[in-house]
Amino acid sequence: MLLLVGLGNPGSQYAKHRHNVGFMAVDAVCSAHSFGPFRQRFQGQLAEGRLVGKRAFALKPATFMNESGRAVAQAVRFHKLDPEHVVVFYDELDLPPGKVRIKRGGGHGGHNGIRSIESHIGKEFWRVRIGIGHPGDKARVQGYVLHDFAKADRAWLDPLLDSLAADAGLLAEGEADRLMTKLALLAQPS
């Protein structure tokens, strides 16, 4: 069993923000793999489905980014999951737009959602870091992440989310490196 967690902030006013790319990724996976509808559960929205024949859940915490760990911990305890069966999708300032890095464990890198999850379930969960780029000045970070993607960003964002969703089964098969390679090829300039 796999728990896919998208990080973001709940509410329509945040839906298109860069900080909500984790929600966008989970929504794309659920749509591509015909997961059931999202329902209120574990202080968030939970959907159930299958990836390559394996049972999977998708969770979008409604606790706001900085408290994401509370929702994740409830789901992990209820389903008796080990952290290595949790995959968290989130925005990464320190990667160029469209770049994706996937690994198990590591640090939070200043990301408050990841910091919260680590404090509740430990560090050994999978991280799918989706590059959104950096505004260039630390003082502009909050406004940057809490702002909608630019229209020009759709040129890389939509194909990335489509490919990530189509190949999400690789995560369930333990083939994170293959998924990262496929996404890297997509991000290369033509």
Report, as residue numbers or ranges, the catalytic residues: 19
Strands 44-51 vs 54-61: parallel, antiparallel or unpaired: antiparallel
Three state DSSP letters for 83-125: HHHEEEEEEECCCCCCCEEEEECCCCCCCHHHHHHHHHHCCCC
Measured N-to-C along each axis, helices 68-78 and 112-121 cross at an angle, to the nearest 10 degrees, of 30
Cβ contact 114:94 at 8 Å:
no
Measured N-to-C along each axis, helices 154-166 and 176-187 cross at an angle, to the nearest 10 degrees, of 150
What's the token pair of residue 99?
A: 């770049």
List the one residue out of 58, 121, 109 whose CA is nearest residue 84: 121
Please list, in sequence order, all residues whose beta carbon lies within 8 angstroms of the beta carbon of residue 112, skipping any fewer than 6 positions away: 65, 66
